């Protein structure tokens, strides 16, 4: 509907321009003198010939009266042609004045064709200028409309695709069903939802595998421990040196098997450390968009961020902010405040909620693998978000600091400065 209204308005202005141009082209600049007024002016001058000092112009024509010697006897205004030669050049009307059947002088009636034509030309130019100005306003308004309904949604899709590619499937895509791409963006978010379900199913399968590995490890470690214990008893009771050496060999192999089982279990957990991080110099001007993307429920006011250059991976930093805001949404569910300041060689971004924080003894454990606070019992989650975020910040030469403030939990992201602007 908006598009149709714009096109109709634009075409209407265009038609007005065409009409004005057509009218301007049709002007020939040739205007006829009003013969009635001309005759009236001639008649009045002839009647007042012998009393020209008291002559009055009873028409709207401008004219000048000359005697036969070319002397100016009367003029309606200054600047008129004061000689026959000037009048001919200006294409004025020149008529004889006849008194008592004799030619006594000349009346030169001013030709105002050029003035009329110039006035009409100025009017047409003003109409065209106004029409073009309206067209420019339409174009500017349509530019902002296209930017809001097409360009910005595509930029959001680009950032959304980067986050999906980075494995972040928790943040939904903000949609506006009123714009042209509402259904299109909704399809992308459905894709994210389905990918998240597939990822959760995969995580559940991996968790089952880890559980199986842990169970098998336990089942294997029990008989291995029994074998080692029996061997230690046998080695202590025997007096035969050769048998004691054999028992020692069994004990060493049992220790080796136990170590291999432990390494197998640990390797399943260390897979989380295989996420690639590629930091580079970034401008602080990029931070507002990262924070806005993470705060998809719009619970925080983005502060003014000091100008600087810092060292980070844009995608991984986005994931850090996503994890912090997602935790605040899930566990605090309050408004959020953000502060940005310089702290020594770091740009500090502090994100604080008002959910009361966590127990003091739990605070140091929140960045560990699979560790969650007591307030997370009935909330979905794996206890990996802050662990992964801390890993990302470490790889970017930064830090993630968690503290209890008076009103809630504060997550401070310290970004290593490359140089201030």
Q: For 241-280, how does the pLDDT look when each residue is reduced to its tens digit (9 = 90+)?
A: 888 888 888 887 887 687 667 656 555 555 555 567 889 9
**Domain boundaries of the chain, sorted by first residue:** 35-110, 182-274, 280-420
Span 198-202, average pLDDT: 77
* Residue 74: pLDDT over 70: yes
Cα–Cα distance list, 381 to 59, 310, 326, 328, 370 (Å):
97, 31, 10, 13, 9
Q: Tokens in use for 299?
A: 């619970």
Tell how strand 280-283 and strand 308-312 pair up.
antiparallel
- 419: β partners: 309
pLDDT grade, residue 1 (50/70/90)?
Answer: very low
Q: pLDDT (tens digit, 9 = 90+) per residue, 96-130?
A: 888 888 888 888 888 877 677 677 778 877 877 78
Q: pLDDT (tens digit, 9 = 90+) per residue, 347-396?
A: 999 999 998 888 888 888 888 876 666 666 666 555 677 888 898 999 99
Task: Give the residue, 78 or 346, on which the prediction is more confident.
Answer: 346
Of 18-22, 153-157, 235-239, highest mean pLDDT: 235-239
pLDDT grade, residue 343 (50/70/90)?
Answer: very high
* 383/330 Cα distance (integer angstroms): 12
Cα–Cα distance list, 10 to 17, 21, 136, 291 (Å):
11, 17, 10, 39
Cβ–Cβ < 8 Å for 378, 385: no
Q: Tokens in use for 401?
A: 């600091």
Kindly tell me the sign of the dihedral angle through the C-alpha atoms of 204, 205, 206, 211. Answer: positive
Q: pLDDT (tens digit, 9 = 90+) per residue, 275-334?
A: 678 899 999 999 999 999 888 888 999 999 999 999 999 988 998 998 899 888 888 889
φ, ψ for residue 300, nearest 5 deg: -125, 155
Q: pLDDT (tens digit, 9 = 90+) per residue, 131-182?
A: 778 778 877 877 787 777 777 766 766 666 677 666 666 666 665 555 555 5
Span 197-220, average pLDDT: 68
Segments of 240-393 assigned E as strands: 280-283, 308-312, 336-343, 346-353
How much is the pLDDT for 288?
94
How much is the pLDDT for 108?
87
Say which residues have a Cβ less than 8 Å from residue 193's Cβ, sequence separation at least 6.
none
* Residue 413: pLDDT over 90: yes
Of 8-17, 76-85, 367-376, 405-414, highest mean pLDDT: 405-414
**Residue with tokens 């279990």, as numbered in its chain:** 265
Cβ–Cβ < 8 Å for 73, 105: yes
How much is the pLDDT for 195?
76
How much is the pLDDT for 267?
55
Q: Tokens in use for 352?
A: 């604080």
Mean pLDDT over the full length of the chain: 79
- Number of residues that this document lists for the chain: 421
CATH of 280-420, one of 3.30.565.10, 1.10.540.10, 3.40.50.300, 3.40.50.2300: 3.30.565.10
* 352/338 Cα distance (integer angstroms): 7
Segments of 112-221 assigned E as strands: none
Q: Please list the alpha-helical segments (H only) found in 238-313.
A: 241-269, 287-294
């Amino acid at each position: 509907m908006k598009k149709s209204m714009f096109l109709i308005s634009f075409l209407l202005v265009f038609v007005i321009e065409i009409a004005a141009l057509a009218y301007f082209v049709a002007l020939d600049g040739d205007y006829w003198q009003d013969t009635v007024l001309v005759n009236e002016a001639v008649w009045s001058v002839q009647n007042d010939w012998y009393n020209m000092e008291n002559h009055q112009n009873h028409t709207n024509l401008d004219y000048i009266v000359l005697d036969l010697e070319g002397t100016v006897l009367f003029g309606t205004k200054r600047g008129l042609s004061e000689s026959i030669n000037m009048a001919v050049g200006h294409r004025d009307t020149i008529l004889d004045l006849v008194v008592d059947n004799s030619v006594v002088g000349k009346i030169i009636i001013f030709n105002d064709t050029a003035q009329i034509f110039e006035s009409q030309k100025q009017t047409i130019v003003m109409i065209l200028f106004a029409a073009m100005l309206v067209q420019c306003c339409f174009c500017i308004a349509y530019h902002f409309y296209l930017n809001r309904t097409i360009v910005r949604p595509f930029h959001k899709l680009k950032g959304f695709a980067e986050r999906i590619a980075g494995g972040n499937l928790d943040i939904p895509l903000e949609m506006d069903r009123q714009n042209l791409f509402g259904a299109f963006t909704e399809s992308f978010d459905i894709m994210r939802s389905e990918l998240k379900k597939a990822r959760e199913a995969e995580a559940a399968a991996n968790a089952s595998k880890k559980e199986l590995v842990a169970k098998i490890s336990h089942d294997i470690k029990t008989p291995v421990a029994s074998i080692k214990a029996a061997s230690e008893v046998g080695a202590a009771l025997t007096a035969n040196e050769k048998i004691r050496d054999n028992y020692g060999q069994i004990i060493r192999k049992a220790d080796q098997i136990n170590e291999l089982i432990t390494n197998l279990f640990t390797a399943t957990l260390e897979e989380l450390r295989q996420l690639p991080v590629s930091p580079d110099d970034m401008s602080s001007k990029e931070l507002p968009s990262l924070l806005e993307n993470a705060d998809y429920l719009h619970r925080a006011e983005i502060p003014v961020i000091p100008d600087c250059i810092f060292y980070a991976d844009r995608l991984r930093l986005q994931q850090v902010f996503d994890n912090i805001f997602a935790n605040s949404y899930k566990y605090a569910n309050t408004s959020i405040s953000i502060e940005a300041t310089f702290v020594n060689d770091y740009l500090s971004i502090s994100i604080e909620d008002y959910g009361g924080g966590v127990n003091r003894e739990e605070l140091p454990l929140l960045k560990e693998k699979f560790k969650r606070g007591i307030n997370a019992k009935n909330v979905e989650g794996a206890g990996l978000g802050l662990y992964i975020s801390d890993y990302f910040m470490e790889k970017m030469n930064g830090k993630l600091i968690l503290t209890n403030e008076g009103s809630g939990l504060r997550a401070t992201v310290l970004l290593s400065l490359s140089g201030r602007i």
